[in-house]
Amino acid sequence: MFRDSIKKMAAYTPGEQPRPGEKLIKLNTNENPYPPSPKVRRAVTKATGGALRLYPAPRGDEFVAAASRYYRVPRDMILAGNGSDELLGMLFRAVLGRGDKVAYPVPTYSLYDTLAEIQEARVARVAFGPDFILPIPELVRARARLTIVCNPNSPSGSFTPIAKLSALAGALAGRLLIIDEAYVDFAADNALRILRRHHNLVILRTLSKSFSLAGMRLGLCFAHPEVIEALLKVKDSYNLSRIALAAGAAAVDDAAWMRRNVARVKATRAEAIERLRKLGFSVAPSESNFVLARMPGRDLGPIARGLRRAGILVRHFATPMLRDGLRISIGTPAEMSALYRALAPLLAGERAPVLASRSPNRGNRRRNRR
Ligand SMILES: Cc1ncc(COP(=O)(O)O)c(C=O)c1O
């Protein structure tokens, strides 16, 4: 019934999501621990009226207009997606046929592998240098139709300076370079200012992380109008619902709310790095809303499973390159304290206490309403 490549491939493995009613501290899929702007709730309520009988705007006009105002990018250089995953899917479909080459530094976001397999594309996986230095000459030499750099990178949290990405885009002229900026609001810089310099540059953003809207599925693609025109040919006609478009517009219009939450996450991140180092982990600086905590040479799978039993989800990748690390999303200070309390006995080979039944999120929700 299915193409050979689909039969053979493994499905993408998303991080665990709690079942309804299950109380877990969720530090595994880099969501924001704070809620979205109250203006989003109001916009969503308004959007659930009679207008729902009508299809939404095919190009997501109100969301794109809000993004155009906030990011100062013309509308014909913006495409709205059902999460940035959908935009990645469109790009792979539009650019890569069977046997075409896609290149990216590894380890990185593993969805790129899945999308390449679906297209039956060839993948040039180029290892990052020490301390996650971007391997620019190797990426250029790969001469791929599509090159992707996740910046800040996941799962490392490392950041490549924008001047280097600009040099890479220049060296790849005529071939597309995607910069996946899913986590960039937690970093000190971003690539939007070099967008107009490079016709081959595509910048992806998501509202899932900094804007606290993972459940709404909203992403943005910034690129030259010709790239956007090509992507429109592979886009589903009505890829974003009226509710999502209203939520996206309201969230971007209230970016001050997002920036406040980002500042809180960054403060907790600084403390997390210190605390995790004290517990014996090696933790590199992070420019994202997670950290990669490593114990070189030690498989941390058992620690991740011990945390799961204690009611705390973190991400462990059972690959040779990453099995000695845990990718830990930055939660609220209360959630992080519960993590440190659980880690100490586990690292000493003991069981961690099972999480108290009260959700540590409650106190924060109260704080957020103020
Ligand atoms: C690097 C990277 N890009 C893209 C995404 C997808 O984000 P979205 O929720 O917008 O589909 C993620 C999600 O975790 C990610 O880590």
Give 352's pLDDT tier (boundaries 50, 70, 90): confident
- Whether 287 lines ligand 1, by a CB cut-off of 6 Å, is no
CB 72 within 8 A of CB 157: no
**pLDDT averaged over the chain?**
94
Confidence of residue 365 (pLDDT cuts 50, 70, 90): very low
Mean pLDDT of 160-185: 98
Q: Which of 154, 151, 64 is nearest to 108 (CA)?
A: 154
Q: Tokens representing 112?
A: 């790129």
Q: State whether the beta carbon of 157 lies less than 6 angstroms from ligand 1.
A: no
Q: Look-up: residue for tokens 């301390």?
A: 131
* Nearest partner of 201 among 167, 233, 169, 171, judged by Cα: 169
Q: What is the pLDDT of residue 361?
A: 47
Mean pLDDT of 72-91: 98
Q: Would the CB of 208 count as within 6 Å of ligand 1? A: yes
* β-strand partners of 106: 127
Provide φ and ψ at 113, rounded to 5°: -60, -45
pLDDT digits (tens, 9 = 90+) for 209-225: 999 999 999 999 999 99
Closest CA to 30 of 160, 179, 184: 184
What are the pLDDT digits (tens) for 110-166? 999 999 999 999 999 999 999 999 999 999 999 999 999 999 999 999 999 999 999
Distances (CA, A) of 308 to 205, 282, 321: 30, 21, 22
Residue 88 alpha carbon, nearest atom of ligand 1: 4
- Tokens (6 digits) for 96: 């890569």
Are 307 and 346 within 8 A, CB to CB? yes
* Dist. CA 253–CA 333, nearest whole Å: 27
Rama region for 290: left / alpha / beta (φ>0; ψ in -120 to 50; rest):
beta
CA of 29 to the centre of ligand 1 (A): 9
pTM of the model: 0.94
Mapped to the 3 state alphabet, what secondary structure does 56-82 carry? CCCCCHHHHHHHHHHHCCCHHHEEEEC
Which structural domains are found in the chain, ordered by start? 15-35+256-369 (3.90.1150.10), 38-253 (3.40.640.10)
When pLDDT is averaged across residues 201-209 and rounded to a whole number, the result is: 98
- Beta bridge partner(s), residue 219: 81, 206
pLDDT at position 151: 98
Number of H helices, E strands in the chain: 13, 12
Distances (CA, A) of 84 to 87, 94, 221, 354: 5, 15, 8, 35
- Residues 292 and 132: their CA atoms lie apart, in Å, by 12
In the predicted structure, residue 66 carries a pLDDT above the cut 80:
yes
Tell me the mean pLDDT in the region 175-196. 98
Residue 219 Cβ < 6 Å to ligand 1 = yes
Q: Is the CB of 83 under 6 A from ligand 1?
A: yes
Question: In this model, does residue 277 exceed pLDDT 80?
Answer: yes
Mutate to test the pocket of ligand 1, among 28, 31, 114, 154 (most ligand atoms within 8 A of CB): 154
Ligand 1 binding pocket includes 180 (Cβ within 6 Å): yes
The pLDDT tens digits for 218-256 are 999 999 999 999 999 999 999 999 999 999 999 999 999
pLDDT of residue 350: 84
